[in-house]
Chain A
Amino acid sequence: MEEDITKNLIRKSGMTTSEDFTDKLLLKIESEKTVHPLLGYRYTRMRHYAIFGIIGVGAGLFTLIYFGFLPEFNVFDFQFKINRIPLLIITTWLLLLGANHILKMQHSANLHGKS
């Protein structure tokens, strides 16, 4: 079959979408826009719980250590004692690290939501 004939025939074969194709598409996009903020709201609430959880557990540990709970354990008759000050420093550092990470996540989620 010659080229110009093929071209002519294939031009005849152009297809058309259904009439409501574009409307359906725009409707889908609009519905996605309304779903995203809802998801964002859900995750924001989850992050709040996570922050309060970390702060709660951290504060509990801090109090226990401060008021004399010092871990001691024996391994083959060697007694291990952990001092209060380094433990407090490590707990505080971990607490701040966790809170910082969650706040950063929240900040980037807010920026994403705005865009």
Chain B
Amino acid sequence: MTSNKEIDAAIIERIKKGDTHAFRQLVDKYKDVSLSLACAVLKDKAKAEDVLQDVFIKVFHKANSFKHQSAFSSWLYRIVINTSYNELKRDKNHLKLEGIHSYEPLTNERTPIQNLKEEDQKKYVVLALEKLKPDEALVLRLFYLCDMPLKEVQKVTGFTSSKIKVDLHRGRKNMEAVLKNLLGNQINDLW
């Protein structure tokens, strides 16, 4: 059976020859996860999409420099993360993150979670992740959404393993706090 890494390698070889159809295939495969990672850092979907456009253009031009030493996804995510952090640094006017205890609930009357549709549940979780610090949200997404082992997260982010463990722990705790703040006791219905 052909592994994911081999499939990506074959696609990249085609991209190196200038095949834009192969490039489209690669973009469609990775764009959503990449957006989630960029959003974890930038907290702004429109800005994250702009960053992603730049990232994929960079990938298209630099495909020749990809040596297949690591998985393509790790290479791509590293570029996404670095570009997002650079954008965050450049954007001097970005909103300072509020303290975790100062979040206001979405509405005065809390909606019973069992009445929430899947889409609304997603909205609350996305909102909770947006309230986390960029490092915490990023590590949570890499670990749980991309199913990356700790070592791979370390490679992709450049964080130390102890920082990753701390961010994972704090991320989980803070996410729970934000969700509790948003949903009250109804949070228990989420799980």
Contacts and interface: CB of A to CB of B under 8 A. Distances in A.
Contacts of B32: 14-17
A6 B172 contact: yes
Q: Could you tell me the dominant secondary structure of chain A's interface residues?
A: helix
Contacts of B57: 25, 28-29, 32
Nearest to A11: B145
A11 B39 CA distance: 15
Interface of A: 1-3, 5-18, 21-22, 24-26, 28-30, 32
Given A10-B129, A15-B35, A21-B31, 12 more contacts: A5-B190, A6-B144, A6-B172, A10-B125, A13-B126, A14-B33, A14-B145, A17-B32, A22-B27, A28-B57, A29-B23, A29-B60
Contacts of B191: 2, 5, 8-9
9 contacts: A3-B172, A9-B175, A12-B121, A14-B32, A15-B32, A21-B52, A22-B28, A22-B31, A25-B53
Q: Could you tell me the dominant secondary structure of chain B's interface residues?
A: helix
A6 B191 CA distance: 9
A10 B23 contact: no
B91 interface: no
Contacts of B176: 1
